[in-house]
Amino acid sequence: MSKLRLTLKIIDLDTGKIDYERECRSWDIQFLQMLYFVMSNYTLTNQIKDATGTLRTLSAPARNDIPRGQFIAAGSGVEAYGIILGTGVGAESALDYQVGTIINHGVAGGNLFYGDTGGTTGYEFPAGGQFEIHRNFSNVSGGAITINEVCIYGYYTTGANNWYFCFCRDVIAGGEAVADGTNKQVRFTISVDN
Amino acid sequence: MDIAAPAGTVTYGLVVGTDNTVESFMDYKMGSLISHGVGLGNLQYGLVQFIFPVNVAGTVSLIVTRIISNGSGAPITVKEAGIYCKQYGIATYYFCLVRDVLGAPVTINDGDSKLIEYILQTVN
């Protein structure tokens, strides 16, 4: 029996050490609703909550359109989607639709510098297959910052409007301190194994 | 990643087969797909249907179903089920997303129908 897993790691880029690793149980309702949208080609009429808490209508794409709404490959400095960090400590819920308290991109006090959200092409290994989604963060704020939560936001565009949806949210037990002048990588691994 | 196949289509959507070779994440197709029809060894596939994911007491489920009917004149034993998707690009391609060997084979007698149901779920 194959099993699909989502694993979260936080890696210290200055030492290479894995500071935090946990198998996630944090998929949010928006992820399944987006999967429903993509798999069924049905229009969602005010049925999916974006990261502002507003219910949005997603129109079924023409069958030869590129599917929309799964994009998480945010560029450097973009905190609207991709891997997002926060300081909130509220327990996870499948109904989460946003990060508790976002850590903004920047160099001011309380900010982290967001790199781009990238990934690896899926690959196989003897006991399974996987792909990774990662983002590097740097602290140049002048003070220490503690990461308490990690999210993945997806991006959807109607052409006229851009909306963002929270697909998963994980709370980091005990928090992950990022000292000034240091760098971390947050890495989600989606894997399947026999 | 379209799996919303209409009735009679077995190139994508939920499908069934007669092979019970153990599953592997390397599977890229059903072991032995049961074709649509009323000929010997065939089953009739209905359209794939979906239930929109909502919160029910902290559990959220995406449910995908398909009814299959046996009008072949003889019993048919189903040993595997799977999900194929249709992907549009330069051309149209079909990919096997899921394949499950049933814990116990299920026999569908002539004139009977069964509902195949996959549930993707997130739980608090």
Q: What is the pLDDT of residues B59-72, one digit of tens each?
A: 899 999 999 999 99
Chain A hits for B65, Cβ within 8 Å:
none
pLDDT at B17 over 80: yes
Question: Kind of pairing, strands B76-88 and B113-123?
Answer: unpaired
Query: Across the interface, do B60 and A94 touch by the CB < 8 Å criterion?
Result: yes
Chain A hits for B50, Cβ within 8 Å:
36, 39-40, 42
The pLDDT value given to residue A194: 66
The pLDDT value given to residue B124: 67
Query: Across the interface, do B58 and A94 touch by the CB < 8 Å criterion?
Result: yes
Specify whether the CB–CB gap between A27 and A94 falls below 8 A.
yes
- Under DSSP, is residue B122 helix (H, G, I), strand (E, B) or coil? strand
Chain B hits for A152, Cβ within 8 Å:
none
The pLDDT value given to residue B46: 97
Specify whether the CB–CB gap between A134 and A83 falls below 8 A.
yes
Kindly list the distances between the CA atom of residue A161 and the CA atoms of A83, A84, A150, A188, B86, in Å, as whole numbers in the listed order: 21, 21, 25, 28, 27
B88 touching A (Cβ < 8 Å)? yes
Chain B hits for A29, Cβ within 8 Å:
53-55, 60, 122
Specify whether the CB–CB gap between A8 and A186 falls below 8 A.
yes
A157/A155 Cα distance (integer angstroms): 7
Full pLDDT tens readout for chain A, 194 residues: 667 788 899 999 999 999 999 888 788 999 899 889 888 888 888 889 999 999 998 887 655 555 455 578 889 999 999 999 999 999 999 999 999 999 999 999 999 999 999 877 666 666 678 888 999 999 999 999 999 999 999 988 877 888 999 999 999 999 999 999 999 999 998 888 76
A190 touching B (Cβ < 8 Å)? no
A25 touching B (Cβ < 8 Å)? yes
The pLDDT value given to residue A160: 82
Chain A hits for B1, Cβ within 8 Å:
38-39, 67
Which residues does A36 contact at the CB level (< 8 Å), separation at least 6? A42, A44, B50, B52, B53, B62
Query: Across the interface, do A39 and B2 touch by the CB < 8 Å criterion?
Result: yes
Bridge partners of A166, per DSSP, are: A153
The pLDDT value given to residue A172: 94
Bridge partners of B74, per DSSP, are: none
B38 touching A (Cβ < 8 Å)? no
Q: Which two tokens stand for residue A88?
A: 């909130």
Kindly list the distances between the CA atom of residue A177 and the CA atoms of A84, A189, B21, B26, B40, in Å, as whole numbers in the listed order: 16, 22, 49, 40, 66
Query: Across the interface, do A39 and B1 touch by the CB < 8 Å criterion?
Result: yes
List the domains of chain B with CATH numbers. 13-123 (2.60.40)
pTM, to two decimals: 0.86
The pLDDT value given to residue A62: 55
B69/B47 Cα distance (integer angstroms): 12
